[in-house]
Amino acid sequence: MSERRVALVTGASRGIGRGIAEALGAAGWAVVVNYHSSPTAAEECAAAIDAAGGASLLVQADIANLADHDRLLALTLERFGRVDLLVNNAGVAPTVRTDLLQATPESFDRVMGINLRGPYFLTQRVAQAMVAGLDPSQPAPQIINIGSVSAYAASTFRGEYCLSKAALGMMTALFADRLAEHGIRVYEIRPGVIESDMTGPVKAKYDQLIADGLSPIRRWGTPGDIAAAVLAIADGAFPFSTGLILDVDGGFHVRRL
């Protein structure tokens, strides 16, 4: 059994997930670095965690493939013996941004599979293990879902992405309600526009929107901004909150006139 607290971060090879995994590692956590198709980047993340004084375990798994979930959890428990924090971060945008009137069922199924169906069943599986492993001498485990402002902001060129994030909001509420009796708290972080490979293709567009005042705080967000919120939750900063949504978005969610 690991003396360290153990976090499982999905999609930790790049972007926001990598920022979260490295920050947890620097705070002394043992981190399971899940990745899908970027092994070199995932190895860099694991090396950074080890160098910063944390401990890492690399696990390749496709979050959309439910058959991979048992292996991901089994390897985690085999190495560390516990899971204190699940961060459902892995997510994708549509491969091609397509107008709502032309969008395809194939893209719908891909985005929903990775952003919603996979996390829903991974959370179910990990929550079972968390409940089975509850130890009254330890802080209760926690779960964090990485949602998006797209849960409520309509983008008609990526409708399936918006739908996946809107449903993730209900997933947060459902698991918060179900797991509260076990002391397990569930949170959602809603990033705004964050610098990563995901937003790379639309960088020029967002540069202009941000300069024009898209959000009250006129800068891009960084993976470090999201990691700071994860660390606060991980450290138990919100003991009487569950189902809480943290808007880490430069104030994007504020209605303005």
**Taking the complex as a whole, how short is the minimal distance between the CB of residue 104 and ligand NAP, in angstroms?**
18
Measured between alpha carbons, how far is 112 from 168 in angstroms, rounded to an integer? 10
Cβ atoms 245, 165 nearer than 8 A? no
Residue 161 a catalytic site member: yes
H or E stretch at 111: helix 105-112
> 10 Å Cβ neighbour count for 86?
30
Q: Toward ligand NAP, which CB reaches closer, 35 or 80?
A: 35
Q: Toward ligand NAP, which CB reaches closer, 27 or 92?
A: 92
**Taking the complex as a whole, how short is the minimal distance between the CB of residue 152 and ligand NAP, in angstroms?**
12
Pick from 144, 95, 137, 104: which is nearest to 248 by CA?
144
Residues near ligand NAP (CB under 6 A): 10-11, 13-17, 34-38, 42, 62-64, 89-92, 114, 146, 148, 191, 193-194, 196-199
**Taking the complex as a whole, how short is the minimal distance between the CB of residue 225 and ligand NAP, in angstroms?**
11
**Taking the complex as a whole, how short is the minimal distance between the CB of residue 118 and ligand NAP, in angstroms?**
7
Q: Toward ligand NAP, which CB reaches closer, 138 or 156?
A: 156
Cβ atoms 33, 13 nearer than 8 A? yes
Query: Which of these is catalytic: 35, 120, 161, 187?
Result: 161
What are the E-state strand segments in 3-67? 6-9, 30-35, 55-60
Active site residues: 161
